[in-house]
Protein backbone atom coordinates (compact mmCIF):
# COMPACT_ATOMS: atom_id res chain seq x y z
CA UNK A 1 0.00 0.00 0.00
CA UNK A 2 1.37 3.45 -0.85
CA UNK A 3 0.65 6.24 1.56
CA UNK A 4 0.49 9.86 0.60
CA UNK A 5 1.65 13.03 2.32
CA UNK A 6 -1.14 14.81 4.24
CA UNK A 7 0.04 18.13 2.84
CA UNK A 8 1.19 17.67 -0.75
CA UNK A 9 -0.09 14.19 -1.63
CA UNK A 10 3.34 12.82 -2.67
CA UNK A 11 4.02 9.15 -1.82
CA UNK A 12 5.56 8.67 1.64
CA UNK A 13 6.92 5.71 3.60
CA UNK A 14 7.72 5.50 7.32
CA UNK A 15 11.40 5.65 8.33
CA UNK A 16 10.72 4.49 11.88
CA UNK A 17 8.06 2.80 14.03
CA UNK A 18 7.55 3.35 17.76
CA UNK A 19 5.48 0.17 17.97
CA UNK A 20 1.99 -0.10 19.44
CA UNK A 21 1.04 3.11 21.26
CA UNK A 22 -2.07 4.00 23.26
CA UNK A 23 -3.77 7.43 23.36
CA UNK A 24 -1.04 9.63 24.90
CA UNK A 25 -3.42 11.53 27.17
CA UNK A 26 -5.58 8.46 27.82
CA UNK A 27 -5.03 8.07 31.57
CA UNK A 28 -7.43 5.32 32.57
CA UNK A 29 -8.88 3.34 35.50
CA UNK A 30 -8.13 -0.37 35.82
CA UNK A 31 -11.67 -1.22 34.70
CA UNK A 32 -10.82 0.09 31.21
CA UNK A 33 -7.54 -1.79 30.66
CA UNK A 34 -9.16 -4.53 28.57
CA UNK A 35 -10.78 -2.00 26.20
CA UNK A 36 -7.74 0.23 25.77
CA UNK A 37 -7.13 1.48 22.21
CA UNK A 38 -3.73 1.05 20.53
CA UNK A 39 -2.36 2.03 17.12
CA UNK A 40 0.97 1.51 15.41
CA UNK A 41 2.87 4.77 15.60
CA UNK A 42 5.19 5.20 12.63
CA UNK A 43 6.72 8.43 11.34
CA UNK A 44 7.41 9.69 7.81
CA UNK A 45 9.39 12.51 6.26
CA UNK A 46 7.95 13.77 2.97
CA UNK A 47 10.84 14.32 0.60
CA UNK A 48 8.64 16.45 -1.67
CA UNK A 49 7.35 19.07 0.80
CA UNK A 50 9.60 18.29 3.84
CA UNK A 51 6.68 17.76 6.25
CA UNK A 52 7.44 15.41 9.15
CA UNK A 53 4.28 13.46 9.99
CA UNK A 54 2.70 10.43 11.58
CA UNK A 55 1.71 7.70 9.17
CA UNK A 56 -1.49 6.97 11.08
CA UNK A 57 -3.32 8.91 13.73
CA UNK A 58 -6.29 7.85 15.88
CA UNK A 59 -9.59 9.60 15.02
CA UNK A 60 -9.72 13.07 16.68
CA UNK A 61 -12.73 11.95 18.75
CA UNK A 62 -10.50 9.32 20.42
CA UNK A 63 -8.16 12.07 21.63
CA UNK A 64 -10.16 15.27 22.19
CA UNK A 65 -13.39 14.73 24.06
CA UNK A 66 -15.23 15.59 27.24
CA UNK A 67 -12.65 13.74 29.38
CA UNK A 68 -9.59 15.40 27.78
CA UNK A 69 -7.03 15.43 30.59
CA UNK A 70 -4.89 18.42 29.68
CA UNK A 71 -5.58 21.80 31.26
CA UNK A 72 -3.17 24.50 30.08
CA UNK A 73 -3.71 26.65 33.14
CA UNK A 74 -2.01 24.14 35.47
CA UNK A 75 1.48 25.58 34.93
CA UNK A 76 2.37 28.97 36.34
CA UNK A 77 5.11 29.57 33.77
CA UNK A 78 2.78 28.69 30.90
CA UNK A 79 0.24 31.19 32.24
CA UNK A 80 2.96 33.85 32.15
CA UNK A 81 4.12 32.68 28.72
CA UNK A 82 0.64 33.23 27.27
CA UNK A 83 0.26 36.60 28.98
CA UNK A 84 3.44 37.77 27.24
CA UNK A 85 2.33 36.19 23.95
CA UNK A 86 -0.99 38.10 24.11
CA UNK A 87 0.75 41.36 25.03
CA UNK A 88 3.05 41.08 22.04
CA UNK A 89 0.09 40.47 19.74
CA UNK A 90 -1.77 43.46 21.16
CA UNK A 91 1.27 45.77 20.97
CA UNK A 92 2.54 44.79 17.51
CA UNK A 93 -0.16 43.15 15.47
CA UNK A 94 -3.63 44.49 16.25
CA UNK A 95 -5.20 47.61 14.76
CA UNK A 96 -6.34 50.21 17.30
CA UNK A 97 -9.93 50.20 16.00
CA UNK A 98 -12.15 47.37 17.25
CA UNK A 99 -9.73 44.46 16.75
CA UNK A 100 -10.95 40.88 16.57
CA UNK A 101 -8.87 37.85 17.61
CA UNK A 102 -9.61 34.19 16.99
CA UNK A 103 -7.75 31.43 18.75
CA UNK A 104 -8.10 27.74 17.92
CA UNK A 105 -7.39 25.08 20.55
CA UNK A 106 -8.01 27.81 23.11
CA UNK A 107 -8.21 25.22 25.93
CA UNK A 108 -9.25 26.73 29.29
CA UNK A 109 -8.74 30.27 27.98
CA UNK A 110 -5.17 30.67 29.22
CA UNK A 111 -4.31 32.99 26.29
CA UNK A 112 -7.67 34.62 25.49
CA UNK A 113 -8.22 35.70 29.10
CA UNK A 114 -5.58 38.36 28.43
CA UNK A 115 -7.58 39.76 25.50
CA UNK A 116 -10.79 39.58 27.48
CA UNK A 117 -9.15 41.54 30.31
CA UNK A 118 -8.50 44.40 27.86
CA UNK A 119 -12.00 44.28 26.40
CA UNK A 120 -10.78 42.98 23.02
CA UNK A 121 -13.26 41.08 20.85
CA UNK A 122 -12.22 37.44 20.82
CA UNK A 123 -13.46 33.98 19.98
CA UNK A 124 -12.03 30.64 21.12
CA UNK A 125 -12.55 27.49 19.07
CA UNK A 126 -12.03 24.52 21.37
CA UNK A 127 -13.32 21.04 20.45
CA UNK A 128 -12.81 19.47 23.92
CA UNK A 129 -16.08 20.27 25.69
CA UNK A 130 -14.79 20.05 29.27
CA UNK A 131 -11.91 22.52 28.85
CA UNK A 132 -14.14 24.81 26.74
CA UNK A 133 -16.62 24.86 29.62
CA UNK A 134 -13.88 26.04 32.00
CA UNK A 135 -13.09 28.89 29.57
CA UNK A 136 -16.76 29.88 29.31
CA UNK A 137 -17.02 29.95 33.11
CA UNK A 138 -14.26 32.57 33.01
CA UNK A 139 -16.38 34.62 30.59
CA UNK A 140 -14.28 33.83 27.52
CA UNK A 141 -16.31 33.49 24.31
CA UNK A 142 -15.75 29.91 23.24
CA UNK A 143 -17.40 27.48 20.84
CA UNK A 144 -16.77 23.72 20.87
CA UNK A 145 -15.88 22.92 17.26
CA UNK A 146 -13.07 21.85 14.95
CA UNK A 147 -11.75 24.73 12.83
CA UNK A 148 -11.98 24.42 9.04
CA UNK A 149 -12.68 26.52 5.98
CA UNK A 150 -16.42 26.17 6.69
CA UNK A 151 -16.01 27.27 10.33
CA UNK A 152 -13.97 30.25 9.09
CA UNK A 153 -16.82 31.26 6.77
CA UNK A 154 -19.31 31.06 9.65
CA UNK A 155 -17.08 33.23 11.85
CA UNK A 156 -16.65 35.84 9.12
CA UNK A 157 -20.42 35.92 8.55
CA UNK A 158 -21.09 36.43 12.25
CA UNK A 159 -18.16 38.56 13.45
CA UNK A 160 -16.30 39.82 10.37
CA UNK A 161 -12.69 39.12 9.37
CA UNK A 162 -10.10 38.50 12.07
CA UNK A 163 -7.07 40.72 12.63
CA UNK A 164 -5.23 37.90 14.32
CA UNK A 165 -5.55 34.14 14.16
CA UNK A 166 -3.71 32.51 17.05
CA UNK A 167 -2.89 28.95 18.03
CA UNK A 168 -0.50 27.45 20.54
CA UNK A 169 0.34 23.76 20.57
CA UNK A 170 -2.61 23.13 18.35
CA UNK A 171 -1.78 23.41 14.63
CA UNK A 172 0.50 20.36 14.77
CA UNK A 173 -2.46 18.35 16.13
CA UNK A 174 -4.67 18.80 13.10
CA UNK A 175 -4.68 16.11 10.40
CA UNK A 176 -6.87 18.29 8.16
CA UNK A 177 -4.16 20.94 8.24
CA UNK A 178 -4.77 22.04 4.65
CA UNK A 179 -8.36 22.88 5.48
CA UNK A 180 -7.16 24.93 8.47
CA UNK A 181 -4.74 26.86 6.26
CA UNK A 182 -7.55 27.43 3.76
CA UNK A 183 -9.66 28.61 6.72
CA UNK A 184 -6.96 31.06 7.80
CA UNK A 185 -6.81 32.51 4.28
CA UNK A 186 -10.61 32.92 4.46
CA UNK A 187 -10.68 34.35 7.99
CA UNK A 188 -7.92 36.95 8.00
CA UNK A 189 -8.46 40.57 7.09
CA UNK A 190 -6.14 41.82 4.30
CA UNK A 191 -3.56 42.93 6.82
CA UNK A 192 -4.34 40.19 9.33
CA UNK A 193 -1.73 37.88 10.81
CA UNK A 194 -1.70 34.23 11.80
CA UNK A 195 0.64 33.56 14.70
CA UNK A 196 1.08 30.07 16.02
CA UNK A 197 3.62 28.06 17.93
CA UNK A 198 4.26 24.36 18.17
CA UNK A 199 7.10 22.02 19.13
CA UNK A 200 9.89 22.61 16.62
CA UNK A 201 11.23 19.76 14.51
CA UNK A 202 14.79 21.18 14.60
CA UNK A 203 14.87 20.89 18.41
CA UNK A 204 13.40 17.38 18.33
CA UNK A 205 16.11 16.25 15.92
CA UNK A 206 18.96 18.03 17.71
CA UNK A 207 17.90 16.90 21.21
CA UNK A 208 16.61 13.42 20.31
CA UNK A 209 13.43 14.50 22.12
CA UNK A 210 11.36 11.78 20.49
CA UNK A 211 8.75 12.09 23.26
CA UNK A 212 7.34 14.98 21.18
CA UNK A 213 6.15 12.32 18.77
CA UNK A 214 2.76 11.09 19.98
CA UNK A 215 -0.75 10.62 18.65
CA UNK A 216 -1.82 14.26 18.99
CA UNK A 217 1.23 15.59 17.14
CA UNK A 218 0.39 14.48 13.64
CA UNK A 219 3.02 16.94 12.35
CA UNK A 220 6.27 18.42 13.60
CA UNK A 221 6.92 21.68 11.77
CA UNK A 222 9.99 23.32 10.29
CA UNK A 223 10.25 26.68 8.54
CA UNK A 224 10.64 24.85 5.28
CA UNK A 225 7.48 22.70 5.64
CA UNK A 226 5.36 25.60 6.94
CA UNK A 227 6.41 27.85 4.09
CA UNK A 228 5.39 25.33 1.49
CA UNK A 229 2.08 24.50 3.15
CA UNK A 230 1.01 28.18 3.34
CA UNK A 231 2.34 29.39 -0.01
CA UNK A 232 -0.42 27.52 -1.82
CA UNK A 233 -2.97 29.84 -0.16
CA UNK A 234 -1.17 33.11 -0.86
CA UNK A 235 0.29 33.32 2.64
CA UNK A 236 3.92 33.60 3.75
CA UNK A 237 6.09 33.47 6.86
CA UNK A 238 7.42 36.96 7.67
CA UNK A 239 8.90 36.28 11.10
CA UNK A 240 9.78 33.46 13.49
CA UNK A 241 10.59 33.39 17.19
CA UNK A 242 12.11 30.37 18.94
CA UNK A 243 10.49 29.52 22.29
CA UNK A 244 11.68 27.47 25.24
CA UNK A 245 8.24 26.00 25.85
CA UNK A 246 7.65 22.27 25.37
CA UNK A 247 11.37 21.67 25.28
CA UNK A 248 11.80 23.81 22.15
CA UNK A 249 9.04 25.39 20.08
CA UNK A 250 8.86 27.79 17.17
CA UNK A 251 6.44 30.67 16.79
CA UNK A 252 5.60 31.40 13.14
CA UNK A 253 4.21 34.77 11.96
CA UNK A 254 2.27 34.58 8.70
CA UNK A 255 0.57 37.18 6.56
CA UNK A 256 -0.60 37.65 3.01
CA UNK A 257 2.22 37.41 0.46
CA UNK A 258 4.20 40.57 -0.25
CA UNK A 259 2.74 42.66 2.62
CA UNK A 260 5.75 42.55 4.96
CA UNK A 261 9.47 42.04 4.41
CA UNK A 262 10.70 38.78 6.00
CA UNK A 263 12.80 39.43 9.14
CA UNK A 264 16.46 38.46 9.56
CA UNK A 265 15.25 35.82 12.03
CA UNK A 266 13.66 34.02 9.08
CA UNK A 267 17.01 33.94 7.27
CA UNK A 268 18.77 32.76 10.41
CA UNK A 269 16.34 29.90 10.87
CA UNK A 270 16.73 28.93 7.23
CA UNK A 271 20.50 28.69 7.77
CA UNK A 272 19.99 26.65 10.95
CA UNK A 273 17.73 24.19 9.12
CA UNK A 274 20.37 23.78 6.43
CA UNK A 275 22.95 23.05 9.12
CA UNK A 276 20.79 20.42 10.83
CA UNK A 277 19.89 18.94 7.44
CA UNK A 278 16.14 19.06 8.02
CA UNK A 279 15.48 18.72 4.30
CA UNK A 280 17.44 15.48 3.93
CA UNK A 281 16.25 11.96 4.51
CA UNK A 282 19.64 10.89 5.95
CA UNK A 283 19.07 13.20 8.95
CA UNK A 284 16.02 11.15 9.93
CA UNK A 285 17.86 7.84 9.66
CA UNK A 286 20.49 9.24 12.04
CA UNK A 287 17.67 10.43 14.34
CA UNK A 288 16.31 6.88 14.39
CA UNK A 289 19.61 5.47 15.57
CA UNK A 290 19.89 8.24 18.22
CA UNK A 291 16.42 7.32 19.49
CA UNK A 292 17.35 3.64 19.73
CA UNK A 293 20.47 4.54 21.67
CA UNK A 294 18.49 6.78 24.03
CA UNK A 295 16.07 3.92 24.71
CA UNK A 296 18.79 1.43 25.64
CA UNK A 297 20.50 3.97 27.89
CA UNK A 298 17.30 4.86 29.74
CA UNK A 299 16.35 1.23 30.34
CA UNK A 300 19.90 0.47 31.50
CA UNK A 301 19.86 3.34 34.02
CA UNK A 302 16.44 2.36 35.41
CA UNK A 303 17.47 -1.28 35.78
CA UNK A 304 20.63 -0.23 37.61
CA UNK A 305 18.59 1.77 40.14
CA UNK A 306 16.26 -1.17 40.59
CA UNK A 307 19.12 -3.65 41.01
CA UNK A 308 20.57 -1.39 43.71
CA UNK A 309 17.22 -1.57 45.57
CA UNK A 310 16.42 2.10 44.91
CA UNK A 311 12.90 3.37 44.27
CA UNK A 312 12.35 5.34 41.07
CA UNK A 313 9.21 7.36 40.44
CA UNK A 314 8.08 9.41 37.47
CA UNK A 315 7.62 13.16 37.90
CA UNK A 316 4.62 14.57 35.93
CA UNK A 317 2.30 12.34 33.94
CA UNK A 318 2.78 14.20 30.67
CA UNK A 319 1.37 13.16 27.30
CA UNK A 320 4.95 13.00 26.09
CA UNK A 321 5.82 10.33 28.67
CA UNK A 322 3.47 7.89 26.93
CA UNK A 323 5.77 7.51 23.93
CA UNK A 324 8.83 6.99 26.12
CA UNK A 325 7.17 4.45 28.41
CA UNK A 326 5.54 2.39 25.66
CA UNK A 327 8.48 2.52 23.24
CA UNK A 328 10.98 1.57 25.98
CA UNK A 329 8.48 -0.84 27.60
CA UNK A 330 8.92 0.73 31.02
CA UNK A 331 6.14 -0.30 33.43
CA UNK A 332 5.47 -0.47 37.19
CA UNK A 333 8.31 -2.97 37.62
CA UNK A 334 10.76 -0.10 36.97
CA UNK A 335 8.76 2.97 38.03
CA UNK A 336 6.67 2.74 41.22
CA UNK A 337 4.28 5.53 40.34
CA UNK A 338 4.10 8.88 38.53
CA UNK A 339 3.23 11.93 40.59
CA UNK A 340 1.11 14.61 38.93
CA UNK A 341 -0.71 17.76 39.98
CA UNK A 342 -3.74 17.26 37.69
CA UNK A 343 -6.66 15.95 39.78
CA UNK A 344 -8.34 13.98 36.95
CA UNK A 345 -5.15 11.99 36.27
CA UNK A 346 -4.62 11.04 39.92
CA UNK A 347 -5.82 7.58 40.95
CA UNK A 348 -5.70 6.46 37.30
CA UNK A 349 -2.99 4.60 35.39
CA UNK A 350 -0.62 5.68 32.64
CA UNK A 351 -1.74 4.75 29.10
CA UNK A 352 -0.43 1.42 27.86
CA UNK A 353 2.13 0.58 30.56
CA UNK A 354 -0.31 1.15 33.46
CA UNK A 355 1.92 2.83 35.99
CA UNK A 356 -0.21 4.28 38.83
CA UNK A 357 -0.60 8.07 38.80
CA UNK A 358 -0.56 9.55 42.30
CA UNK A 359 -1.10 12.97 43.76
CA UNK A 360 1.89 15.27 43.95
CA UNK A 361 1.79 15.09 47.77
CA UNK A 362 2.82 11.43 47.52
CA UNK A 363 6.11 12.51 45.92
CA UNK A 364 6.78 14.87 48.80
CA UNK A 365 5.87 12.20 51.36
CA UNK A 366 7.60 9.11 50.01
CA UNK A 367 11.17 10.42 49.41
CA UNK A 368 12.01 8.19 46.42
CA UNK A 369 15.72 7.75 45.69
CA UNK A 370 15.28 8.83 42.07
CA UNK A 371 12.75 10.69 39.94
CA UNK A 372 12.50 10.40 36.17
CA UNK A 373 11.57 13.90 35.05
CA UNK A 374 8.99 13.61 32.28
CA UNK A 375 8.16 17.34 32.36
CA UNK A 376 11.77 18.35 31.60
CA UNK A 377 10.32 21.25 29.63
CA UNK A 378 9.26 22.75 32.99
CA UNK A 379 12.56 21.93 34.68
CA UNK A 380 13.38 25.48 35.77
CA UNK A 381 10.06 25.76 37.57
CA UNK A 382 10.29 22.23 38.97
CA UNK A 383 13.88 22.38 40.25
CA UNK A 384 13.09 25.69 41.93
CA UNK A 385 10.03 24.13 43.58
CA UNK A 386 11.82 20.91 44.61
CA UNK A 387 14.83 22.32 46.42
CA UNK A 388 14.01 20.05 49.39
CA UNK A 389 14.16 16.89 47.28
CA UNK A 390 17.50 15.18 47.86
CA UNK A 391 17.10 12.20 45.55
CA UNK A 392 18.54 11.99 42.03
CA UNK A 393 16.87 13.29 38.90
CA UNK A 394 16.97 11.17 35.78
CA UNK A 395 16.68 13.14 32.55
CA UNK A 396 16.63 11.86 28.99
CA UNK A 397 17.01 15.06 26.95
CA UNK A 398 19.28 15.85 25.15
CA UNK A 399 20.70 12.52 26.30
CA UNK A 400 20.10 10.19 29.23
CA UNK A 401 21.83 11.60 32.32
CA UNK A 402 21.56 11.80 36.08
CA UNK A 403 21.55 15.05 37.98
P1 LIG B 1 3.43 19.32 29.88
O2 LIG B 1 4.86 19.11 29.63
O3 LIG B 1 2.90 20.67 29.69
O4 LIG B 1 2.54 18.31 29.13
P5 LIG B 1 2.29 17.42 27.90
O6 LIG B 1 3.46 16.54 27.58
O7 LIG B 1 1.14 16.64 28.42
O8 LIG B 1 1.98 18.37 26.81
O9 LIG B 1 3.16 18.86 31.40
C10 LIG B 1 1.90 18.85 31.92
C11 LIG B 1 1.75 17.75 32.95
O12 LIG B 1 2.77 17.83 33.94
C13 LIG B 1 0.44 17.90 33.67
O14 LIG B 1 -0.12 16.60 33.82
C15 LIG B 1 0.81 18.49 35.04
C16 LIG B 1 2.20 17.94 35.23
N17 LIG B 1 3.05 18.78 36.09
C18 LIG B 1 3.29 18.39 37.40
O19 LIG B 1 2.78 17.34 37.87
N20 LIG B 1 4.08 19.17 38.19
C21 LIG B 1 4.63 20.33 37.71
O22 LIG B 1 5.35 21.03 38.48
C23 LIG B 1 4.39 20.72 36.36
C24 LIG B 1 4.98 21.98 35.80
C25 LIG B 1 3.59 19.90 35.58
52-61, 128-137, 218-227, 364-373: segment of lowest average pLDDT: 52-61
Q: What is the pLDDT of residue 214?
A: 97
Strands 370-373 and 392-395: parallel
Contacts of 139 (CB under 8 A, 6+ apart): 116
Q: Which atom of ligand 1 is nearest to the CA of 320?
A: 6
Distance (Å, whole) CA 54 – CA 213: 8
- Looking at every residue in the chain, the average pLDDT score rounds to 95
Average pLDDT over residues 137-157: 96
pLDDT at 75: 72
Q: Report how far apart, in Å, the C-alpha atoms of 147 and of each of 25, 87, 170, 188, 251 are.
A: 21, 24, 11, 14, 20
Q: State the Cα–Cα distance between residues 271 and 265, nearest whole angstrom.
A: 10
pTM above 0.85, yes or no: yes
- Cβ 245 under 6 angstroms from ligand 1: no
Instruction: Give yes or no for residue 51 having a pLDDT over 70.
Output: yes
Average pLDDT over residues 214-233: 97
Q: What is the mean pLDDT of residues 101-125?
A: 97
11-12 and 52-54 as β-strands: parallel, antiparallel, unpaired?
unpaired
Report pLDDT for 101: 98
Cα dihedral sign, 90-91-95-97: positive
**Cβ atoms of 163 and 192 closer than 8 Å:** yes
DSSP collapsed to 3 states, 96-158: CCCCEEEEECCCCCCCHHHHHHCCCEEEEECCCHHHHHHHHHCCCCEECCCCCHHHHHHHHHH
Q: Which residues of 312-348 are buried (b: 16+ CB within 10 A; e: fewer)?
A: bbbbbbbbbbbbbbbbbebeeebbbbbbbbbeebbeb
Q: What is the pLDDT of residues 59-107, one digit of tens each?
A: 777 776 666 656 665 677 889 999 999 999 999 999 999 999 999 999 9
Q: Compute φ and ψ for 392, nearest 5 degrees.
A: -100, 145
The pLDDT tens digits for 286-336 are 999 999 999 999 999 999 999 999 999 999 999 999 999 999 999 999 999
CA of 281 to the centre of ligand 1 (A): 32
Q: How confident is the model at residue 202 (pLDDT cuts 50, 70, 90)?
A: very high
CA distance 89 to 96: 12
- For the Cβ of 317 lying below 6 angstroms from any atom of ligand 1, the answer is yes
- The mean per-residue pLDDT over the stretch 152-162 comes to 98
Decide: 75 in ligand 1 pocket, CB within 6 A: yes
In this prediction, residue 356 carries a pLDDT of: 98
Q: What is the pLDDT of residues 174-197, one digit of tens each?
A: 999 999 999 999 999 999 999 999
Which H or E element spans position 218? none
Residue 349 in contact with residue 355, Cβ under 8 Å? yes
pLDDT value of residue 203: 98
Protein residue with least CA distance to atom 16, ligand 1: 316
Least Cα distance to 131 among 154, 162, 110, 116 occurs for 110
CA gap 325, 350 in Å, rounded: 9
Mean pLDDT (whole number) for 152-173: 97
Would you call 328 helix, strand, or coil by DSSP?
helix
Cβ–ligand 1 contact at 340 (below 6 Å): yes
Distance CA 256, CA 186 (A): 11
- Ligand 1, atom nearest to 321 Cα: 6
Host H or E run for residue 227: helix 223-231
Please state the length of the chain.
Answer: 403
Contact between residue 231 and residue 19 where contact means Cβ atoms under 8 Å apart: no
Tell me, using a 6 A CB cutoff, whether residue 169 lines ligand 1.
Answer: no
- pLDDT score at 74: 62
- Phi then psi for residue 118, to 5 deg, are -100, 15
Amino acid sequence: MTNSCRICGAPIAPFMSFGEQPIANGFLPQSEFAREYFFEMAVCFCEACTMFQLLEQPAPEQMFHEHYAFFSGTSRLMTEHFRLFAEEVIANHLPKENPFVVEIGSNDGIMLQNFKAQGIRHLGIEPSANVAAVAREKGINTVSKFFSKETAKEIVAEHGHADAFLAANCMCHIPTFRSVVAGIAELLSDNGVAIFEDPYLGDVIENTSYDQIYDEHVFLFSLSSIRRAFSEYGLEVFDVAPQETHGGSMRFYIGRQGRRAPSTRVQELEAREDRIGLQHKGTYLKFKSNVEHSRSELVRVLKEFKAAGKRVVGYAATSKSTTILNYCKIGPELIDYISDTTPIKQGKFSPGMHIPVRAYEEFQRSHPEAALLFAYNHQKEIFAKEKEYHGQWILFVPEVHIR
